[in-house]
């Protein structure tokens, strides 16, 4: 095992993980420790929502369903639903869906006991941001995609339509109490969604891999997580019924997100990708793929010691050059059907000013230093066209 520099570690994952094919049947048994009355958050037309609601009810849980979660959780939509949560007298919440549904449920957990808007809890608010109350209701997270890993993180990404910005909430109080990860639920994802969410899983480990000094635990979580995605995502896309690949991708999504649990830096892939979602409405995983090449080039420039291991993760010899690694990643993304340039989403040069207005300068400064200025941001976006 190659450790470039041993970093400090403070690790806490207060989420109980129940993983395995077909374990959705255990939902009521797992939920029993959280209370007797639940709000189940899901999306319309997502068959897993009613199915799990029925399992919970048969197990003696009183369930009310909110199926208004959005594919891109907005402050406006979440704030509008907050009154229902505050007045519902729920013991706990259940999220059934992809990362957007789980993030919506996390925000609703905060607002169940908190004041103001969900945006007030995002890191965009800086020192003025609100934190969750100690009596925030617990959450049972049941993912139906293999990507965000939101079931084991204290992060929830919000969109502010009025500001055309995306920003995360980061608060330990929104760690789900229980994560029920059943690969069977994700086995019906169509190829494009499988590719997009699967690549998102890869990027979580990637962020931490290039985020600074690595403890042994985070190093293992990140590198083996990335390797598992590289070895299984293409099969999951091309062979939707391949149970082994689906199971591997479900676990990889959870594991890659576990690498984010301890405090640490980031490579800024998400920082540059989020504005594409907020401004151009590019789906999250696809937005990350569109800026992957330029961010990886920058990351390898800053941290050349990471090059040999990233090469082997991608199936290349250790001595591979930066360009060989970049070409390999780009070819992989193309094989799974993800555009590798912003122009693939009809984003042209005239929209770069809007992307720059939506980007988080504070996160860029923390990750890349104060010397990384406006010209550098523009240069990366131009290179990603």
Tell whether 167 and 214 lie within a shared domain: no
The whole domain housing 322 covers 193-383
Tell whether 81 and 207 lie within a shared domain: no
The answer to the question of residue 222 being in a domain is: yes
The answer to the question of residue 11 being in a domain is: no
Rounded Cα gap, residues 230 and 237, in angstroms: 12
pLDDT of residue 291: 98
- Per the rule left: phi > 0, alpha: psi between -120 and 50, beta: everything else, 307 is alpha
The answer to the question of residue 55 being in a domain is: yes
What are all long-range contacts of 347-354, with beta carbons under 8 Å and residues at least 24 apart? 347/276, 347/280, 347/282, 347/290, 347/385, 348/385, 349/382, 349/385, 351/279, 351/280, 352/378, 352/381, 352/382, 354/164, 354/275, 354/279
Strands 139-143, 155-160: pairing is unpaired
Tell whether 265 and 179 lie within a shared domain: no
The tokens describing 273, both together, are: 């990708």
The residue among 125, 159, 186 that closes a domain is 186
pLDDT of residue 141: 98
pLDDT of residue 213: 82
Contact indicator for 197, 285 with CB cutoff of 8 Å? yes
Rounded Cα gap, residues 368 and 365, in angstroms: 5
The residue among 186, 201, 235 that closes a domain is 186
Per-residue pLDDT of the chain (385 residues; tens, 9 = 90+): 565 667 788 888 999 999 999 999 999 999 999 999 999 999 999 999 999 999 999 999 999 999 999 999 999 999 999 999 999 999 999 999 999 999 999 999 999 998 899 999 999 998 889 999 999 999 999 999 999 999 999 999 999 999 999 999 999 999 999 999 999 999 999 999 999 999 999 999 999 999 888 888 999 999 999 999 999 999 999 999 999 999 999 999 999 999 998 877 888 999 999 999 999 999 999 999 999 999 999 999 999 999 999 999 999 999 999 999 999 999 999 999 999 999 999 999 999 999 999 999 988 988 888 899 999 999 999 999 9
Look up tokens 């009809």; give the residue: 346
The answer to the question of residue 5 being in a domain is: no
The CATH number assigned to the domain holding 354 equals 1.20.1090.10
The answer to the question of residue 1 being in a domain is: no
Tell whether 179 and 198 lie within a shared domain: no
The closest alpha carbon to 72, from 277, 286, 271, 273, belongs to 277
The answer to the question of residue 346 being in a domain is: yes
Tell whether 274 and 378 lie within a shared domain: yes
pLDDT of residue 5: 67
Cα–Cα separations (whole angstroms), residue 181 to 30, 254, 370, 378, 379: 12, 8, 40, 40, 40
The answer to the question of residue 206 being in a domain is: yes
Q: Per the structure, how many domains does the chain have?
A: 2
Tell whether 211 and 342 lie within a shared domain: yes
Tell whether 55 and 81 lie within a shared domain: yes
pLDDT of residue 3: 55
Tell whether 241 and 379 lie within a shared domain: yes
Cα–Cα separations (whole angstroms), residue 231 to 16, 140, 154, 157, 248: 27, 30, 27, 28, 9
Tell whether 180 and 212 lie within a shared domain: no
Reported pTM: 0.94
The closest alpha carbon to 180, from 40, 70, 21, 41, belongs to 21
The residue among 186, 201, 225 that closes a domain is 186
Tell whether 264 and 301 lie within a shared domain: yes
The CATH number assigned to the domain holding 77 equals 3.40.50.1970
How far apart, in Å, do the first and last CA atoms of the chain sit?
37
Tell whether 223 and 160 lie within a shared domain: no
pLDDT of residue 80: 93
H helical segments located in the chain:
27-31, 48-58, 75-87, 99-113, 183-186, 191-209, 216-238, 243-258, 269-280, 284-302, 307-313, 322-335, 352-358, 361-368, 374-383
The answer to the question of residue 2 being in a domain is: no
């Amino acid at each position: 095992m190659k450790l470039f520099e041993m970093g400090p570690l403070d690790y806490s994952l207060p989420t109980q993980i129940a993983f395995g094919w077909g374990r959705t049947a255990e939902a009521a048994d797992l939920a029993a420790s959280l209370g007797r009355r639940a709000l189940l958050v899901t999306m319309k037309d997502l068959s897993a929502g009613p199915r799990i609601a029925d399992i919970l009810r048969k197990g003696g849980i009183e369930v009310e369903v909110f199926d208004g979660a959005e594919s891109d959780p907005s402050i406006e939509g979440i704030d509008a639903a907050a009154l229902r949560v505050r007045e519902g007298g729920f013991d706990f919440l259940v999220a059934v869906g992809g990362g957007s549904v789980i993030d919506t449920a996390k925000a609703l957990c905060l607002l169940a006991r908190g004041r103001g808007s969900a945006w007030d809890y995002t890191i965009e608010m800086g020192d003025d941001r609100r934190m969750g109350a100690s009596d925030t209701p617990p959450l049972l997270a049941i993912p139906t995609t293999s990507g965000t890993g939101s079931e084991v993180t204290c992060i929830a990404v919000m969109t502010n339509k009025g500001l055309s910005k995306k920003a995360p909430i980061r608060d330990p109080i929104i760690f789900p109490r229980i994560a029920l990860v059943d690969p069977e639920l994700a086995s019906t994802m169509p190829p494009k969604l499988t590719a997009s969410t699967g690549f998102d899983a890869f990027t979580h480990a990637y962020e931490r891999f290039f985020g600074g000094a690595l403890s042994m635990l985070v190093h293992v979580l990140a590198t083996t997580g990335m390797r598992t995605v590289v070895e299984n995502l293409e099969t999951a896309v091309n062979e939707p019924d391949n149970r082994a690949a689906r199971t591997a991708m479900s676990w990889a999504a959870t594991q890659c997100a576990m690498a984010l649990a301890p405090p640490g830096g980031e490579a800024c892939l998400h920082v540059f990708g989020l504005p594409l979602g907020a401004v151009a409405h590019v789906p999250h995983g696809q937005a990350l793929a569109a800026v992957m090449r330029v961010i990886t080039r920058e990351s390898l420039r800053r941290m050349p010691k990471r090059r040999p291991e990233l090469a082997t993760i991608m199936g290349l010899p250790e001595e591979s050059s930066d360009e060989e690694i970049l070409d390999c990643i780009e070819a992989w993304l193309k094989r799974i059907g993800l555009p590798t340039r912003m122009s693939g989403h009809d984003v042209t040069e005239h929209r770069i000013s809007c992307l720059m207005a939506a980007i988080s300068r504070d996160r860029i400064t923390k990750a890349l230093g104060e010397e990384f200025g406006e010209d550098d941001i523009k240069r990366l976006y131009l290179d990603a066209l």
